[in-house]
Amino acid sequence: MIEVRRVGRGIGAEIHGVDVKTLDDATFAVLYRAWLDCNVVVVPGQELGVRDFLRYSRRFGVIHPHPSKMTRHPDYPEITLLGVNKVGPDGQLDMAIYRRGAEDWHTDGAYDQAPFKATQLYALAVPSTGGNTLFASMYAAYEALPSRLKQRLEGRHGVFTYGGRRKATALLNAEDRDWKPVLHPIIRVHPETGRKALYFDPGKILCIDELEEQESDALIAELTERMIQPDGQYRHRWRKGDVVIWDNRCSYHKAAGDYPPEEDRIHWRVSIKERA
């Protein structure tokens, strides 16, 4: 019997009593509903092969290969490997791999015209300490905005690109580093829940469209401060066999990036888009 337990403050749910390899449609519908309600869903204790993970992930939408070709699974390009090859042939720690996802709170795929609906990870190796993933609710961020700011942002668009203002493109091949910026509404209505969220990503945004540079920079700084609300947070402490899926339309996340670098922390990862 499927059991849904809330885990964080305002976001996060853990699902018990299921094997994601054999979920029937009715049980999947319960899990999916919990995901829409809680933004992040954890399914512990799963034993999956690559094909099992891909098959289960496709129940949420269409898998989209990540633009970072050098971190793709050699046989399954839809899968990104996290934490693999983090030590180079010279024995140096590759910080772009070790600190992947740890620089800023962010939402995945804001650089795409059709941003990612979801990201799903499966934990293959977990360090003895650290290496958590932190989550925060975009709904909580929106709801906590002062009403003058809500009004000011209504109808405004952010201009986003891969790597943002820092041009952080170390994981891309040289020929893939040229991105055309895309626009997304900063106040975004979630297509399935109908709720408003603060859709923002300080590491990918270039500017707020149609504002003078100074005003845009000041607004970006203010929004960066307002992303994380105490009542919309969940810290995930990984166990081997955890499957975790987050909704990029209503949650931010960030890797803690703090585990012992000599230890393994390895995940399979997929980006999932909406079905057309």
Ligand X SMILES: O=C(O)CCC(=O)C(=O)O
Contact (Cβ atoms closer than 8 angstroms) between residue 235 and residue 76? no
- Chain centroid to Cα 106, Å, comes to 7
Binding partner selected for residue 41 from Fe ion, ligand X, none, CB under the kind-specific 5 to 8 Å limit: none
How far apart CA 245 and CA 162 sit, in angstroms, is: 22
Burial 25-35 (b: 16+ CB within 10 A, else e): eebbeebbebb
Contact (Cβ atoms closer than 8 angstroms) between residue 247 and residue 35? yes
Closer residue to ligand X in complex, CB, 108/247: 108
Strand (E) or helix (H) holding 240: none
x/- map, 131-160, ligand X, by CB under 6 A:
--x---------------------------
Closer residue to ligand X in complex, CB, 145/270: 270
Hey, which residues between 104 and 123 contact ligand X (CB under 6 A)? 108, 119
How far apart CA 207 and CA 151 sit, in angstroms, is: 18
Least distance in angstroms from the C-beta of 169 to ligand X? 15
Per-residue CA distances from 9 to 42, 220, 231 (Å): 15, 26, 5
31 binds ligand X (CB under 6 A): no
Nearest to 223 by CA among 244, 247, 245, 204: 204
Q: How many residues bind ligand X (CB under 6 A)?
A: 9
x/- map, 243-272, ligand X, by CB under 6 A:
----------x-x-------------x---
97 binds ligand X (CB under 6 A): no
Closer residue to Fe ion in complex, CB, 115/232: 115
Least distance in angstroms from the C-beta of 8 to ligand X? 15
Name the residues that contact Fe ion, by CB under 5 A.
101, 108
How far apart CA 75 and CA 245 sit, in angstroms, is: 23
Least distance in angstroms from the C-beta of 185 to ligand X? 22
Residues that bind ligand X (CB under 6 A): 82, 100-101, 108, 119, 133, 253, 255, 269
